[in-house]
Structure formats: C-alpha cells, structure tokens
Structure 1
Amino acid sequence: MADQQVMVGRERERLLLDGLLIAVAERGAALVLRGEPGMGKTALLNYASVGASARGARVVRLCGVESESVLPFAALADLMTPFRVGLADLPEAQRSALDVCLALAAGPPPNSLAVCAGTLNVLAAAADATPLVVLVDDLQWVDASSRQVLLFVARRLSSERVAMVLAVRSDAPEPTASGLPGVDLAGLPADVCAELLAGRGVAPSPQVLADLVRATGGNPLALLETAAGLSAGQLSGMRPMPELLPMGQQLHRAWTARLDMLPERTRRALALLAAGRSAAPDVLARAFASVGLSPADVDPAHAAGLVTVTGKALDLRHPLLRLVVLEGLTPSARLDVYRVLAGASTGEVRVWYRAAAASGPDEEVAAALDAAADRARERSGFGVAARALRRAAELTSDRRLRVERLLRAAVDAHLGGLPHDAAAWCDAAAAETTDPLLRADIALVRGRVLIWIGQVARAHDQLLDAADAVRTIDPARAGTLLAEAALSAAMSGKGSLALRDAEEAAQLAAAPPSMRAPASPSDGRHPAASAGPSGPAVPDGHGSVEAPSALAGPGEGAELPLEISACASFALALTGQVTAARRWLESARTALESADAVDTQQTLVLIGRVCGWLEDDDTARRVLTSAINAARRSGAPATLAYALGARGELDRWAGLWSAAYADATEALRWAEELRQMGAIGYSLLSLARLDAARGERALCEERIERTRREVGPLGIGSLEVYGSGTLGLVALGHGEHSVAVAYLEHARALAADGGLGNPVIVPFAADLVEAHLRTGDRDRAETVLAWLEERARSTGLAWPAAAAGRGRVLLAGDGDEAEACYAVAEVAHRRREMPFEAARTQLCLGEVLRRCRRPAAARLPLLAAHATFQSLGARPWTARAAVELAAAGERPTPGTSAPAFDRLTPQELQVARTIADGMNNVETAAALFISHKTVEAHLTRVYRKLGVRSRTELTRILMSHGLVPAPPG
C-alpha cells in the first residue's frame, strides 16, 4: 500500500478519486478519506498525486504534524508558499489579513474570514491556468487556524478548477471535516490481503491468512507488520502462531520486538526523533550532538524499515510507531528527551518543548506560554492560544492566576470554534476558585458557550445561579448575567421567564456605580465570546403577561447599556407588550445611532428582530441589513445566520419569497459552517415555512424532521412550536383540516407554557381558527378568535387585526356580514405589506360569498387571490382559488410565468443583489466569501436567466420587485 505501483484493492476509493481528478478540468470538489491508522489513506493520496500529475494538474501536498499543530497558520504557510505572487492581486482587506497571519507583515489581528476568502481567491486564480489538486494528510494534526481555512475552501470549490482530498484519522478527537463528502476506509478482504502480502514476498497458508485477517481486521499496516514478525514455519502453519492480539496490541508487540533488536544508541536517537515529531534537520542534528549521537545512529532503524527519509528530513514510518517508542521510555527519560529538544530549538517550538519537559509548576514556562498565546491571538490563532493557556494553567502554582488563564483559554477556545473545550475549561476554572466575582465571569463565558451550542436550558440555569451569587455584591455583573439568561429563556420558548429575567437585569443594571465591584483581572484581555440572538419565539395562544413595572419603560434620562435595552425590548416584544417594547427601543435610539455596526452586531440583530415583531419593517430591514453588511465587511460571520434569517422573515411577510429563500439558504450554510445548532434549526424552519406555502410538502417535512433529529434533543422549545405550526399550514393548504387542527393545537399548547403573546412571531393562530371552522368546531374557533381580537386591541398590530377580520369573515352568517368583516380586515392589511395573507383573506371572502349564493360578488376577490397566489408560486392555494372560481362560474386567469428572478438559485440571487447594491465583482466576492471567479460564473447565469445585459438593467429589475432598496431621494 505504500505507493502507486504496489497498491492493491480500494477499487471504490480509486474510482472516486479518478472521478474527482477527471472533473477538476472543469469544476472542483472535495473528498474526505477517513480511516484508522494504517488503513491506507496516505497510499490513496499517493495514488491521487500520480493520477493528477498524469492528467496535467498541479499538485500541492500538505501533511499535518503534531508538533506544529501549536503554530498558528503553519500548514497554511506551506500551502501558500508556491502562490505568494497571487497575494498582490487580492483586495486590500484579504491581502493584509493573509500577510499578517503568514507573518509577512505586522498589523492588528487579521480577520479570519478575510484569510479564508483570500486563500480561496489565490487558489482559484492559480487554477485558471492549470487545474490544481490539493492533498492533505493527517488533517487532525493540522493547526486549528489552517484547518479552518482548508475546510472553508473545501466547501466552496464547485465553480473552481480546484480539487481537494483530505485524509483524517477516524479516531480524531472532534469531527474535523464534517459536512464534506467522504468515504470511510474499511479493512481489506481476505483475497486482497493475500495479494498485498504476496507483493512483499509473503505467502501464508490459508488458515494463517484467515487468522491474520481476523486479528488485524484487514488493516494493511497491521497485516504487514504482524506478518513481518512471523517465522517461515509460523507462516506455513507448521509451527504454532503466537497468541493473536487485538490490532493495536498486535502492532505494538510487532514494533516493540523490532525496536528491541536495534542498538542502544539507535533507540536513543529514535526517542529524540519520536519526541521531535518531524523536527527540522538542524534541530535534530543539534539535539543528537548534545547527547553524543549523530544522524548515522539512525541508520539501523532505516535499514529495518522503521524510519523514512525525505530529502534531509527523517521521520518514523508511521504515527503509531512514535507512540510505541515513547511508551518504551521511563517517565524521567521522556522528560530528558524533551529537555534536549528544547535546548536545540528556538522560537515557539522551544516553548512547547519546555512545557512538555516540565514535571510540575514552572512559572517561567507558564509565562512563556502565556506570551505565546498572546502572539497567536494577534494572528487570530485562537485555537492555538487556547491550548497554550490551558498548558500554562497546568504549570501555574498561583491559584488565582491559574483560574484566570483557564478562563482566557475558554474564551479563546470558543472564538476558535472549540466550544466543548471551552465549556470544559470553564468547569475546570470554576472548580479552582471560590471568588464569587471570578466565578460570575466564568459563568458568563460558560453560559454564552452553552447558548451557542444549543444547550439553552442548562445555560439558563447556570446563568441564574451565577447572578444570584453576586446580586448583592455587584448588581451590574448580576444584570449582565440575567440579560444572557433572558436570551436563553426566549430561545427555549419561555417568554414569561425571559420577561422576568429581563426585568431583573434592568433593575440591577440601573444600580448606582458605588454598588459595582471592580472588573476582574481577566476582563478586557481580549474580546469576550458573545451569544447569538435566540431562535424564533411564539405566542402562547392564551394571552400575554403584563409588563412588570421595571420594564414599563426606562426612567427619564436613564442611560442603561445598549445590550440591556435590547434584551428588555426583546422580552417585551415576545410577550406582546408592544408599547413598553417601543419605549425601550426609543430609549436606545441615540446609542444605536452612534454604535459601531461591527462591535454591536449581536445587539443590532436583536433590535432588528424586535422591530420586525413590532411591524416596524423599514427600521427592521435597515438595522438588519446594517448588521449583515458589517458582518460581511468585517469578515465576522458569527451573527450572519441569525441576521439573514431575520431579514428573510421580513421578506416572507412582504411577499419577496425568492429573496427570503436566498437569505434563509445562506443563513443555513453559515449556521452549519459555524456549528450553531440553534441557528441551524431556525434556518431550516424558515425554509420549511416557505416550502409549506409553496406546496413543497416533502421538502418541508424533511427539513422539520432534520430539525427535530439534530436540534430537538437540545431542548430549544421555540423550534418545536414553529415546526408544528408549519406542519399545520401544510395540512391546511392541502385541505387536511383535522390533521391541521392536531398540529396547530399542539403548537398552541407548547406555546401556552411560555406565556408569550405576540401573534406576529409565529402566526399560527389564524390558521387554527380556519382549521377549526373547516372541521365544524365553531366554539373552539371562537376561543382562538377572541384571543386574536384581544391581541389586536392591546398591541395595535396590523397582523392580529387582519387575522381576526379573516376569522370573522369565515364566521359570517350572510354575504353582507362577510363583506363588512372583510372591510375591517382590509384596513388592517393596508397597514402592512403581507400579500400572501391578504390573498388568503380574499379567498375566504370569495368562498363565503359563493356559498351565500352571490357568485358574481365572489369572483372579484377570488380572481385577486388567485393572481396573488400564482405570482408567489403558492401552488396549493392557487389550486384552491381556482376551484372556487370554477364553482363561481369564472375561469381562472391563464397562468402567468413567475417573475424571472424566481428562476435564480439562492446564491445567484445573493450575487445579483450585492451587484445591484453597487459592488463590483471583487467586492461582491469579498462580501459573500466566495471567489471572484464564482461571482463571474453566477453573474453570467443571472444575466442569461433575467435577459439583461448590464448592471444598470439588473439593478432596475431587482429594484422594481423590491429586492434592493431604491436610492434615497
């Protein structure tokens, strides 16, 4: 399995690689090879390398090295070395970010997304001339910063002539390449094992072969190593086989036996080689010389096939052999080896060797690691910084300093995409201190981490406990904790709880400065990880909770933190306290206008969502678009999924379903990329709602099932309410009224536990009224309708008033009463643009008028409803309107083609909108984190599908449909 010439088996994997290499002449893709050590991943990469070169492609190979996994962007530097000339053609933000992270220039911490997008553009440009194949071995050992870039690029190759093959161990500590197409390497079958052994001149008897295959599981490396340790008599079956051990033990035993046969000086040299893990030749030479050895002492191991030579570099044959060598050392001998390597090394690597050599607390080494973490953070190497601080904490004797280093490690781990490590290190820090203020800071970070990974109930409980512990000694700190708790409660679908937490947060945040404790020494060292906005919240179907006095509105002249104002208005809007929510938003207006859009992205998204729930659509769109643009411009996508999803909700209400679909699709992509479980569920359900209205039933149900399967166990209650309400809409659209009642009542019962009272957020109440009436349950319909009418009066919102009017139309006893009720509903509909809902109200009026034997009067609203449904692509509703028109003696209007932009894919529409906003191709590529070549390809298809020839025409057609704003004035 070591090279192309002797490779046997793996026909399926080789066919996949051949297909990838053939296609790269036109388009790119990525493939992940997963398998346990020794399964042949490197052999397949060798096969791909030979095949790519034979087809004229350019090949670049990388290999993760465990000792270099602590060096930020080490692998990226290797990748970019052949392409550095291409950096000059990048946009300034991407070029400067890559220069800093590759240590080509000094500067502020680079934006990680700018680094990712810049790398993609460089590789795409290089592939314009010659297809490019990037092969990465041992991905699990690639440093976290480089791995993030590689995976970002791997997910965006469809329009590039770049192929990427990533090999990763199946026992990697975390899913390093999730979401990419991959293949799991299984053990080889017996006939292939026999062929493999025959290629090495080994011919065991059939029974011995069967024993070897069974013992090794068909692992090629284990098979070869085990067979190499057998005598001729054992291979023939004439002498008894040794006890066959599990594969790992079998390899260990085989290699140990071969190591024991080497000279003592060779074993000492191998110990340095194993601990150095591909150390640079000059470092290894100095280490050898310092203990009286020379590179020649490795020769016996090379002759035994245990060491490979690439140029001047030495390495052990396999990563597992390194563990065998190190395990054969006594603890003191192992520490001595690391001390020798530390003495022979320089720079960051020396710090890590010194840390490995430390047997107990060592403040000098801990301080060096702390400084290394700062340097890594300056290059956005948050994962490396976290590991450095974690090890520094282990070597720190001062307990408080140890806790602070653990806390900073947790924050860096969170920022570096390692939330589970962050949570564990928060727990470790909390176990080391009884200081209530320090424990509060730890709880805040841990709570935010838990919210991001979707464990909202656990986050809420811990944040409340932490707030209680410091309520009397530092009210402001307690207020910050309670504000986070309110967000987690809202995400759980518990509006009453969110309201209570927000009230306490507002009270405590207003405490006089004299009651505030000083910030802990860990504050301000680097940006704190922040929680994202919650998922969709829902009305309870029973009424609302009155706004507590503390939330009725901020006091005259009160200057509370913008985050507290956003949190208060968020909780109030959820529960239907519209007037109080608007007061809090008004109090934040000045701070909002002067706030930095990049630094306050989370708060902007929160406020934008609240404005949408209060039907202030213009402000909501402006604020959310500002947050989206800031996230794109700064390359900080943490809030993009939520912001895009919220803007998509506005577009859905406004009837801009293609735009809503594009935003929700991009939101899902970012949520998956960043592993934001709550945002994944939110995005899936936003898409499902659109699918439901369009009649894409199977796709809708598939998205809801995925949400329940992947996100449901996290207890984000609002998602289940939203999902059940959406399934009710599907059933209602298909005339399955009893099924609709079951789903909608389930949603209403779930929401009732939350005490929420804003019908705008998940508008299932109107669907429930209609479903009950169509099953003949007028009493139940009246109960829900009464709630809608009360909500309309108390909130002053247009949607509940329009929905209540629709319900009264369906309940009307005659045509005159139906028309009078419709007139009331129509007034409400005119207050907010919601064409789908307005058409449904027209459909209900037409149905009632026809049943009251007024077919002529029914035709006009039915024709209007049919036209709207048809233009939206709402197929089930179009069909219902057509049936009613036929019954009223009117033929439906001939089908009109959907707007041209409906034929665009979601990403094509996003590219078109960005171009229409005035950006050029390079700026659009930077904003959407794709390559300029991808922009060009999408734009070509956009022009063809829309029948336009210029950006001016493109802007005009998108503006005419409200997909981009008209210029001011």
Structure 2
Amino acid sequence: MPPTHGDGFPDVIFTCPNALAAELTGPTVMLRCHEQALAAVDAIARSPQEGALLILGAPGAGRSTVLAQSLAAHTDIASLVPVNPAENGWPLSGVSAILAGIGDPRVAEFTGRFALRSDDEAAISEAATELLAVLRGLGLPRTLLLVDDIDAMDAASRRVIGYMAGHLAGSGIRLVASAADIPSDEPLVGVQSVQLLPVDDTDARAVAPAGIDPGTLRILSSVAGGNLRTLVSLFDSLSPEQLHGREGLRLPPRPGRAAWHALERLTRRMGASHVAVLDRLATAPLHPRASVGSWGDDAEDALQELIDLGAVREAGAFVTLADPLVRSALADGLPSRARRELHLELRAGSGPLLDAWHASWADPAADLRAPLLEAAAESARLGHPHATIEFADRAVRSGGDGLAGALATVADELLAAGEPELAERYLQLAASDPSADVDDRLRVAISRLRADYLAGRPPHTDALLADADPELVARWAATLAAVSAARGDFHAARGPLMGLESGLAPGTTSETRSMARTARALLGSVDGIPHASDDARDPLLIALHARAETLAGDYARARQLISRLAHSLARPSRMWAGWLTALAIDCAAREGRIGQAFELASDWETQHPGVEGPAGMVPLGAWARLAAGDLEGAEAVAAPCTENAAARVGPLPTARALLFRAEIARLRGDLATASELLQVADTVAAAIDDPRLTRHLPELVEVLVETGRMSAAREVAHRFAEAARAHQSRWSTLASARTVVVTAHDEDLRERYLWAVSLHRPGDSVFELGRLHRAYGRRLAAAGAVPESEEAAADARIAFAGAGARPWMAAPTPSASAATLTPEPDAPHPPARLALLSDDERAVAELVVRGLHNKEIAAALFLSVRTVELRLTRIYRKVGARSRAHLVSLLS
C-alpha cells in the first residue's frame, strides 16, 4: 500500500508500522470505528496513575492508525515504538526497543547489561522486577509509549512486558500496545484492552473515493467484512467504470492479509471434515441446507459444529459463510481445477436457484447470463440480496448486451427487498445497454419511476411508448399516475390516467390494474377507496394503497395495510422500516393520535439514530425531537427537507412539512415565522383542491387572526369553507367550524363556539377538539375575557392530554400572557401548586376540580382508571392534599 492515496481519500492514515512516521505530516479523518480506542488512549495518557492498555484488532483494522493519531494528539509525552518482526527470534529485542523509545541515556546504559538468566517464569518475573526498579529510580516524567504490533515481538519480551504492565506505578510510564492476537497463556492477556470496531457505513463513505456509486460502495463495504485496509485495497483495485457502477465486480474479491488471518484463526484447530465443508461453502454465496448431507459422511455434523461456532449462519432454508473475508480466502485458495470439479459435484444437489451459478463455473464458456439473472431476481425475492449481487454481477461480467429487461427485474426485486442503492446500480447498468429494445427500455423506465418515488426524486416522464407492448404501456401509465398523485402532482397524474379510463385490456396483469386503482384513489376520482387485492405482494403497491386510505381518512384500513406491508417483507430493511414508521406516523397524526405518533418516532430514533426515513415525508428525527419537547432540534431537522422540496418530492409532502415547521414555530411563540411558512405552504399547495390533504388552511386562518389580519383571515376561511363543501370529510367539517369560531365577531363568538363544540362526536379527533378550545381561548384573551380564556385553555390542555400532544399542553397560551400583563383585580390567578405538577398530572387535577369522577376522567383522557388513581396519589403528595375535597379547595 503506498503511503498516500489519490482516489479521493488522502486524508486517512493506513500504514504498516515502518511507514507510520512518514505519514503523520498530513491531516487525518476521525473514523467512528476508532473513536472508542482513541478515547481509551487519551484517558490513559491523561490519567494521574500509570497503567497499560491493549488495542486489539485484526490486521488492517487500523491499529497503526490509532497509534499514529494518538502520537499526534500527545506529541509532548508520546513515543512510538515500532516492532520489527525480523527480530522475533532474538530474546529481549522487544524490551530493548521499548527502552530505547523512552529516550533516556541512563536506560540505554542499563539495556547493555540487561539479560535473562533463563526463560522460566521465575526468571522472567525477576527480570521484570529488576527493570521496574530501574525505571522507578529514574524519576521519568509522564511518558506515553505506543508499541505497534506487540504480538510480533519476541516471546520473552512479551512475557516481561506482561508482568510489568500491572506494576507500572511510580515509573511514569503509560504503556499502550496494539496486537491482532495475544496467546491465552501470556501475562498480557490480563491487561485492560479495547477492541477496534468494524468499519460501518459512515466510515466507509468517509474513506471512499469521491463520486463512487452508492451501490458499489454498499457491495464493497459488505465484502470487506468491516476491515479498513481490505476496504481501501478494494477501492484501489477497481477501474473507474467499476467504481461508478457501470461495470460488474469480481466476487468474491481477491483476499488480503486480513482474509488469510481470519481463515487461519478459524481453521487452526479444525479437522479435515470441517475444512472440506468450508471449501464447498466457499464456492457459492449460499447453499441449500438440505444438500449438505450429501457432501460426505461427516458433512452434516461438521456443518452443525461450524454453525455453533458462528462460522456459518443459517438463512431460512440456506446456509452461508458468516465472514466474507473467510470466504474470500477459501475461494482464492482453491486451485482452478479443484474449484471446477467442486462446482460440478455441487451442481447435482444444489437446486434450481444455484444451478446456473455452479454451471457457469463448471463451464465458463457457456452463456448462462439469462438464468443467472433469473436466479438473482429470485434470491432477492427470497431475501438474500448478497446472493443477488454475485449472480447478477457474474452475468454482467460476461457481457451486458441484451440484459436491460432482466436487470430491471433484478432492480425491482432489490427495491422490494429494501436495497435502493443496489437497485439503482442495476438500473444504471440496464440503462447503459445499447442493444435494449423498446419493451426493455420501457421496463427500465417503469423501474426508474418506482425507484425515484421511494428515493424522493422527481419522476422521469420521457419514456418512449411507440410500438411498445400495450401491457407495459399501461403499467408505465398507471405507475406514473400513482407516484405523481402520491406526490401531489395531480395535474401530472391525470394525463397518463386518462389513457386508462377507457378500460384496460383483458390480459392486463393484476399488478397493473391495482396500480391504476391506487392512482384513481389518490386522485379522489372514484367513489370510495378500492382495497388492495388479496394477492398483492408488491410492497410499493401496498404502501401506496395505505397512503391513499390515510389521505381518504379511513385510518383503520390504512393501519391494516401498513401491518400487511410489514408482514409482506421477506427480510427487515432500513428503507422499508422507515416507510412503515413514516406511514404509521402520518396516519396517527392525521387521526389526531399525536401520542401514538410520538411513540413511533421515539422508538425509531432509539433504533435508528440519525436516520431520517423517507425523503417524501416529514423527517422521523424531527418527530422524535418534537416528542422530546426539543422544539429547536425539531426545527433544525425539519428545515432542510423543505428547501427546494416541491420539485424534488412534490407539493403535497412539501406543504405537509411546511405545516409541521409552522406548528413548531407556533409552539415557540414565533407567529411571524409561522405565518410565513403557512403562506409558502398555501402557495405550494395551490393546485391541490382538497384541503384535507395538506390541512394548512385552518392554521393559516388562526395565525392571520393572531397577527391582527382579520380581513385576510376571513378571506382564507371563506376559501377553506368552499373547498371543504366541495371535498367533504369529517376533518374538513370540524376544522371549518373552528375557522368560523376564529373569525367570528365578538358578539357571536360564544354562540359559534358552542355550535362548533356540538359538532364533535365520540370517536372524532380529540386533538382537533383541543385546537378548537385553544382557538376560542385566544379569541377570549384578545377580547379581555381572562377568566373565560383560562377555562378554555384548561379545556384545551385536557384535550391535548387525551391526544398525547404534550408540546401543545406545555405551550404558553396568549390567555396566560394576558393575565400576567393586564391582570384584573378580581381575576383568580393560577394556583402556584399547579406548577408542581407534570402536564399529565395537571390534566387530571383540572378535571377533578371540575367535579369529574375517576371513571369519567379516565374516559376523557383515554386512560385506565388505575392510571388515574396512581396520578391522583402523586398529585396529593405533591400539593399536600389530604383528600379529594382538600385538593379541590387547594386548586380552586
């Protein structure tokens, strides 16, 4: 490995020990896989007590890099001690190197007469004691010794240093050593250690060449097995075409030192039957579990023992080697003839999925590209994308001409498996096929529409439809209409859908028909919302159906479809997990179950910190921060997703994200920002006729009133009422009534409010009821009716508590501000004891004051009676109440 790299990653140090010093002149990149080790070295360097630390990691994991960065961070006290493996046969050569690293001439004098009397344990201990006595007598300042590859040191030195490591007190020395392995019978085993972590996706992106194809990076990260040097070596070995995803890869790749080390560690105590099974497992990315018994008399037992050791893992009906580095070394270690004979042997019992794979190795001259790509699509369908990659890339390396349609199918299956980067890579390969006919190009265009929607990109609409298969034309039109409608581009959706209105051909597939029905449902152009057919297996189709049901207000059906989507997936994936969570949050939020939305977002943040979910939805991290009451954090996460978003993700998601940000601004009391965001949302959503889709208009009415623009508010309220009458829904009815209250004249305010309250029925959104109470309270506060506004604010808090909307409960109300700024002489002030209660406890206390019994409180707040009783117990204790009557007296 050269000391510097020119493919976009010159800032990272990857070195052998002898090259470390030469590379310390450049800046370094802090990798997450090294953070824990660097923190441990920093702690021991700064500690007032002497001590020792081992940094453990496989060859290529970055041990030398950690020591180099530690040396750069502590140049005033640190010294690097490289170990020369060529001196391994010279006893105490390692001790001499460490003493030389101290740099004190008195130590050099002692080194000349330091020797072992024998190599037994007593002599080793005596030597270590003598050496420690000398070091303590020198009065050394704080000294950090960084020993690279201590496991390459001579055995006698390792044992001496191992004895010394636990008794460094008074010597001034902090000893940090790196190693791949330490024999279990050596004293160094007892030294405090830290294990280097494998390279994760973030680190892989940090060291990758600029412009690398994300799918290619995903593949290389996987086959590198988390080993840093292996990953960088793979980057160096690829051509520009391969790096940019325009050419197939050799898989498994050629092994490096880390792979041979992993293989040696695995097989050092294994028998011939285990090695024979490993050789056969290495010939393919996966094998049918049932076929292993035919490999030999002991094969089944050997396989089970390998599974128990963790060397092999079971994946459904298949088994596969757990470590890609081990497989790389095993595959490369087989002579060509032996490899070919193994493939011939294994083909007989491999089953249809592996037949083309083994045949392609047994007879490299045969054109097996089509069956290989069929196997690739099937393996993705079964939830084995690693096998998909190997099958597909082997086909592509044999020549990509004429493969566009099959590659598009592979991309579709990878997308359904939740692997968008890999799907994008094969779509790119398919698009570069110069011999693709019009049908194959249309297949690629359909796959591109699906990938673009899930990635939050504008759809490509320039497909060539002339002379194409009518079924494919219909599928393209239905897909374009559905994804355009889901984005809120209804004008763009109506064009392709008009061509389907006359009816689909009798032979049209169920997937195309269902996609067309989904597009119509999203457009709202048919009465009722069609349900997904029972045989639908396409995750995107189910997700779009769930989206249609949510927008139509059939939340129970939407939840059923979201659950069905979860059960339809062959394997868990971060992409589909994000979509499932985002769809469920949107459904819960539109239904008014804000607490449920918060729980979903908090669970997501715990499991996937820093991952924001689908590009076409409000970032899940923003929801999680709002759930935690971090309004500034929620705004910081949500703001970037609305920048130039209408063209990227469409007007509907953009308007919803702007509404989310406006709600945050209102909770913070920033009405000017809220007004600006809502007016931008109104502009973005100008072409969306149904107000229930974006839901920004009633909030815009409220903000206009609160900022003193009643005339403009009444104009918007009138526009909203007209749209609500044209597109009737339960939400539109209730929200329109709220705007009537907000814009009512003072003398009509109470009458309009009572009318709006009377519209709410059991099962309606409690959150919407809380909005009505809050809006009424603000109008009362503005009119100077402080006691009545406080009562309305309390009603709002109770309703928000029932909806789980904690930030809305805690938000300051204008009525409270008015009471503070212009208190009436006889106006009752909120009791100070209320400040002692949490938002949940305050909601219960306010209902107690109103005379409700525990069962009634439980029903109002959607709690169990037991929960109400527990909260009352805490309330009594906090405010010092002796009884329920005493509590009412204290809080009234």
- How would you bin the TM-score normalised by the shorter chain? 0.5 to 0.7
Instruction: In structure 2, give the amino acid aligned to 1:839.
Output: G
Select 1:381's aligned residue among 384, 409, 417: 384
Residue 779 of structure 1 is matched in structure 2 by: 711
Percent pairwise identity: 15
CA distance in 1, matches of 2:639, 2:738: 31
Question: How do residues 496-895 of structure 1 correspond to structure 2 at under 5 angstroms?
Answer: 496-504=491-499, 506-507=500-501, 510-513=503-506, 561-572=513-524, 580-581=525-526, 583-585=527-529, 588-589=530-531, 592=533, 595=534, 599=537, 601-628=539-566, 630=567, 635=572, 639-653=576-590, 655-666=592-603, 677-678=614-615, 681-684=618-621, 686-687=623-624, 690=626, 696-708=630-642, 714-752=648-686, 755-815=687-747, 817-830=748-761, 833-849=764-780, 852=783, 858=789, 860-869=791-800, 872-873=805-806, 874-875=808-809, 877-883=811-817, 889-892=827-830, 894=834
Partner of 2:80 in structure 1? none
1:422 matched to which residue of 2? Answer: 423
The answer to whether the Cα contact below 8 Å between 1:601 and 1:627 also exists between their aligned partners in 2 is yes
Whichever residue aligns with residue 429 of structure 1, its letter is A
Cα pair distance change 1:724/1:433, threshold 3 Å: same
Q: Which amino acid aligns with 1:663?
A: L
CA shift at 1:771, angstroms? 1.7
Q: Taking structure 1 as reference, are residues 890 and 567 closer, same or farther at Cα in structure 2, changes over 3 Å only?
A: farther
2:838 maps to what in 1?
897
Q: What do residues 212-266 of structure 1 show as CA deviations (whole Å, max 9, x unaligned)?
A: xxxxxxxxx99xxxxxxxxxxxxxxxxxxxxxxxx999xxxxxxxxxxxxxxxxx
After superposition, give the CA deviation of every residue in 1:850-905 in whole Å (9 maximum; x if it has no partner): 55565565554343124435664225545434335665724347354344999xxx
1:732 positional shift: 2.9
1:159 is aligned to none
Whole-angstrom distance in 2 between the partners of 1:20 and 1:415: 46
- Among 440, 447, 450, the alignment partner of 2:449 is 447
Residue identity opposite 2:37 in structure 1: R
Could you tell me which residue of structure 1 aligns to residue 37 of structure 2? 14
Cα deviation digits, residues 920-950 of structure 1 (max 9, x gap): xxxxxxxxxxxxxxxxxxxxxxx999989xx
Q: Kindly name which structure, 1 or 2, has the bigger radius of gyration based on alpha carbons.
A: 2
> Which runs of structure 2 are paired with 1:109-508 in the superposition (5 Å)?
170-171=208-209, 173-174=216-217, 346=343, 362-364=365-367, 366=369, 369=372, 373=376, 380-395=383-398, 400=402, 402-411=403-412, 413-414=414-415, 419-430=420-431, 431-433=433-435, 435-455=437-457, 457=458, 459-462=459-462, 465-466=463-464, 468-469=465-466, 474-504=469-499, 506-507=500-501
Rounded Cα–Cα distance in structure 2 between residues aligned with 1:654 and 1:875: 18
Query: Per-residue deviation at 1:782?
Result: 2.1
Q: Secondary structure at the match of 2:694?
A: coil
* Pairwise CA distance, 1:790: 0.9
CA distance in 1 between counterparts of 2:221 and 2:715 reads 48
Question: Which deviations, in whole Å up to 9, do the C-alpha atoms of 1:367-417 show, x marking residues without a partner?
Answer: 7855874785586432432343233244259x54x3444334434554566
Displacement after TM superposition at 1:749 (Å)? 1.0
Stretch moving more, 42-51 or 599-608: 42-51
Shift, 1:745, TM fit: 0.8
RCO higher in 1 or 2 (8 Å CA, sep ≥ 6)? 1
CA shift for structure 1 position 747? 1.4
TM-score normalised over the length of structure 2: 0.54
Q: Cα distance 1:624–1:5, how it changes in 2: closer, same or farther (>3 A)?
A: same
Distance verdict in 2 for CA 1:603–1:405, change over 3 Å: closer
Determine if contact 2:341/2:362 at 8 Å carries over to the other structure. no
Structure 2 Cα separation of the partners of residues 877 and 853 of structure 1: 20
| Unaligned ranges ≥5, structure 1 | 22-29, 56-60, 64-130, 141-150, 156-164, 187-220, 223-246, 250-270, 287-318, 323-333, 529-559, 573-579, 903-942, 949-969
The residue type equivalent to 1:776 in the other structure is G
Going from structure 1 to structure 2, the CA distance change for 1:618 and 1:701 (only over 3 Å counts) comes to same
Return the letter of the residue paired with 1:818: L
Aligned-pair CA distance for 1:660: 1.0
Distance 1:736 1:340, change over 3 A: same
Distance 1:826 1:386, change over 3 A: same
Contact 1:760–1:799 under 8 Å retained in 2: yes
1:33, 1:696 → 2: CA distance? 43
> Does the CA-based 8 Å contact 2:411-2:422 persist in structure 1?
yes
Q: Secondary structure at the residue paired with 1:507?
A: coil
The whole-number CA distance in structure 1 between the counterparts of 2:335 and 2:731 is: 69
| 1:833 maps to amino acid | D
RMSD: 6.1
CA distance in 2, matches of 1:438, 1:167: 33
1:386 touches 1:410 (CA, 8 Å); kept in 2?
no
CA-to-aligned-CA distance 1:161-212 (integer Å, 9 cap, x gap): xxxx999964585267999xxx9999xxxxxxxxxxxxxxxxxxxxxxxxxx
Deviation at 1:826, TM superposition (A): 2.0
Alpha-carbon distance in 1 for matches of 2:810, 2:256: 67
Corresponding position of 2:105: none
Alignment CA distance shift 1:834-1:855 (3 Å): same
Deviation string 1:689-720 (CA, Å, 9 cap, x unpaired) is x55xx863211211113535898994554443
Secondary structure at the aligned position of 1:477 is classed as helix
TM-score, L = length of structure 1: 0.50
- The 1:900/1:706 distance shift into structure 2, 3 A limit, reads farther
- SS in structure 2 opposite 1:760? helix
Report the CA distance between 1:741 and its aligned residue: 1.8
| Aligned-partner Cα distance in 2 for 1:369–1:615 | 45
Structure 2: unaligned runs, 5 residues or longer:
1-13, 25-29, 45-55, 69-82, 84-146, 153-157, 167-178, 182-191, 238-252, 268-274, 280-324, 348-353, 844-865, 872-892
